[in-house]
């Protein structure tokens, strides 16, 4: 108490003594007060800045931590493994009927449609089998781009002959364009008076020991063609599937249209849409089929004329010529 | 309209940065949405086992309740761009909306990264660009929001 009173007394005395009589000391006290206030303000500012850094840093840190944890778990548990697609079955009669009899007026209306890229011409020894030009297809059942290309190849080939035991299946559910409905050439046979066809599916869509099971094998001659023409300088990368060699005159590597047009559709819906000239499926599949047909006509000497002289094929032939 | 520190609320550098990332995200979202609806377009993107845009954007997880994720992203970035326009910073009531929007975007990014890593098994580079924009926008918005209580001077 004494000390406090004494201090208080002293302070009052001091103030009485300083305030009116010593402007220098008064100014000094004011400066000290201002400095204290400035220091307090500075401390508040530093504390606020620290809080701000903690808030922002904490938020960023939390985000980075979660992403790092996800990546870490992914690396620890290993990469993705392929998954099996649906087992191939014999194509239904309605699918076969729709694919084998796309009306010619629909194909004529579509022309090239949205098909791209076009088959590329090549000067290679004629590819033949049984005295007829050979169309060699190399693909795999799991492959989504092959899934797209098969529809076009089948529509085109049905204009020159017919298939037996054509199957239907889906591409891999764990690849691009998952579970794309498609046909399969594995186990199918083809007869035509104009052209021969060999369709090889190198792998199925069924996973065995973490890999798609091997299926068809290429003969030495087929392997030689595949190695030579499905590679630079004919295409940017070697060994891409699907690969189609049309009589040694035209080559296709990759799908002739974007497989997404088939997404979410059933086999029956896709097959039925082939006869609707304004549908996205017809414009893609029928357009690609006309291009394949035009390429085949180049090696069959435009036989049969009813096919090769049709408006849709003539349009596709012109497109092939312009692309050279 | 005044900030806690007595200054008029303005976007500031952090706000402008956030707007820049929102516009970038909007641009990429427009590209992804166009690609989604235009089947003749293919994303300019490498196709390897790990990096594969098409595998991600065509997977079953590329839609939520039937709505393409690309379109959801487009709508999100349109909304965030509106919230981040200099004029929008004048309205104090939009501050929490902005923060919630940015936070929701980051949560969505985490969900989509999880989908890419554990469901699709592939990374889409264009999607990653959108994710980076979302997180950067979130950081800038949080930074700007926290600056209002620090200094009357805009950062």
Question: Nearest CA to CA, how far is A8 from chain B (Å)?
Answer: 37
Contact flag A63-B135 (C-beta cutoff 8 Å): yes
B4 and chain A in contact, CB less than 8 A: no
Give me the CATH code for the B12-147 domain, please.
1.20.1440.130
The size of chain A, in residues, is 324
B30 and chain A in contact, CB less than 8 A: no
What pLDDT was estimated at residue B50? 75
Contact flag A280-B39 (C-beta cutoff 8 Å): yes
Q: What is the pLDDT of residues A44-95, one digit of tens each?
A: 888 887 887 888 888 888 888 888 888 888 777 666 677 888 899 999 999 9
B135 and chain A in contact, CB less than 8 A: yes
Give the ipTM of the model, two decimals please: 0.70
Separation between Cα atoms, residue A167 and residue A315, nearest integer Å:
31
Residue A309 backbone phi and psi in degrees, to 5: -100, 5
Minimal Cβ distance to B146: which of A52, A63, A261: A52
Range list of H helices, A78-103: 93-100
Stretches where chain B sits below pLDDT 50 are: 1-7, 150-155
Computed from CA positions of residues A159, A161, A166, A171, in that sequence, does the dihedral angle turn out positive or negative? negative
Separation between Cα atoms, residue B124 and residue B48, nearest integer Å:
10
B5 and chain A in contact, CB less than 8 A: no
Rounded to two decimals, what is the model's pTM?
0.66
- What is the DSSP annotation of A181-240? EEEE-TT-EEEESS-EEEEEESEEEEEETTEEEE-----HHHHHHHHHHSSTTTSSSTT-
Spans of all domains in chain B: 12-147
Q: Which residues contact A222 (CB under 8 A, 6 or more apart)?
A: A136, A138, A198, A200
Minimal Cβ distance to A176: which of B52, B149, B150: B52
What pLDDT was estimated at residue A46? 85
Instruction: Return the beta strands (E) in chain A as ranges.
Output: 89-90, 120-121, 128-129, 132-139, 161-164, 167-170, 181-184, 189-192, 196-201, 203-208, 211-214, 243-246, 250-253
A68 and chain B in contact, CB less than 8 A: no
Do B104 and B110 meet the contact criterion of CB atoms below 8 Å apart? Answer: no
Q: What is the pLDDT of residues A122-137, one digit of tens each?
A: 999 999 999 999 999 9
Contact flag A49-B150 (C-beta cutoff 8 Å): yes
Q: What is the pLDDT of residues A4-36, one digit of tens each?
A: 444 444 444 444 455 555 777 778 888 889 999
Burial class (CB in 10 A: 0-12, 13-18, 19+), B2: exposed
Q: Which residues of B touch A66 (CB under 8 A)?
A: 110
The four Cα atoms A193, A194, A200, A205 give a dihedral, to 10 degrees, of -80
What pLDDT was estimated at residue A301? 96
Contact flag B110-A70 (C-beta cutoff 8 Å): yes
Nearest CA in chain A to B118: A74
């Amino acid at each position: 108490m004494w000390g406090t009173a004494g201090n208080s007394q002293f302070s009052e005395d001091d103030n009485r003594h300083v305030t009116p009589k010593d402007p220098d000391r008064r100014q000094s006290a004011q400066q000290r007060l201002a400095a204290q206030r400035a220091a307090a303000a500075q401390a508040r500012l530093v504390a606020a800045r620290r809080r701000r850094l903690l808030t922002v840093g904490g938020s960023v840190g939390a985000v980075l931590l979660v992403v790092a944890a996800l990546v870490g778990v992914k690396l620890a548990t290993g990469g993705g493994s392929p998954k099996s697609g649906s087992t191939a079955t014999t194509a239904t009669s309605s699918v076969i009927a729709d694919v084998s009899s796309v009306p010619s007026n629909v194909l004529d209306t579509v022309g090239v449609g949205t098909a791209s890229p076009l088959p590329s011409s090549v000067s290679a020894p004629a590819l033949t089998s049984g005295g007829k030009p050979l169309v060699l297809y190399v693909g795999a059942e799991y492959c989504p781009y092959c899934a797209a290309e098969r529809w076009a190849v089948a529509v085109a080939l049905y204009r020159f002959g017919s298939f037996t035991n054509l199957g239907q299946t889906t591409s891999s559910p764990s690849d691009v364009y998952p579970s794309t409905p498609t046909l399969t050439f594995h186990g199918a046979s083809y007869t035509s008076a104009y052209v021969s066809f060999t369709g090889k599916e190198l792998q199925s869509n069924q996973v065995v020991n973490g890999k798609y099971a091997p299926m068809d094998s290429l003969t030495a001659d087929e392997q030689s063609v595949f190695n030579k023409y499905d590679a630079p300088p004919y295409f940017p990368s070697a060994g891409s599937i699907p690969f189609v060699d049309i009589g040694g005159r035209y080559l296709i590597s990759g799908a002739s249209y974007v497989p997404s047009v088939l997404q979410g559709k059933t086999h029956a819906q896709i097959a039925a849409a082939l006869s609707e000239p304004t549908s996205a499926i017809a414009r893609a599949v029928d357009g690609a089929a006309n291009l394949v047909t035009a390429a085949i006509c180049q090696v069959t000497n435009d036989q049969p004329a009813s096919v090769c002289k049709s408006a849709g094929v003539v349009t596709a032939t012109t497109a092939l010529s312009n692309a050279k | 309209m005044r900030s806690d520190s007595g200054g008029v609320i303005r976007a500031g550098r952090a706000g402008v940065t956030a707007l820049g990332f929102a516009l970038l995200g909007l641009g990429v979202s427009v590209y992804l949405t166009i690609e989604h609806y235009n089947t003749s377009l293919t994303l300019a993107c490498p196709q390897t086992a790990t990096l594969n845009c098409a595998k991600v954007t065509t997977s079953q997880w590329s839609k939520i309740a039937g709505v393409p994720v690309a379109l959801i992203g487009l709508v999100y970035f349109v909304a965030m761009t509106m919230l981040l326009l200099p004029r929008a910073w004048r309205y104090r009531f939009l501050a929490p909306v902005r923060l919630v929007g940015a936070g929701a975007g980051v949560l969505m990014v985490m969900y989509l990264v999880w989908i890419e890593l554990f469901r699709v098994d592939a990374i889409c580079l264009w999607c990653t660009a959108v994710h980076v924009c979302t997180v950067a926008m979130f950081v800038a918005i949080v930074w700007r929001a926290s600056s209002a209580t620090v200094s009357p001077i805009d950062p």
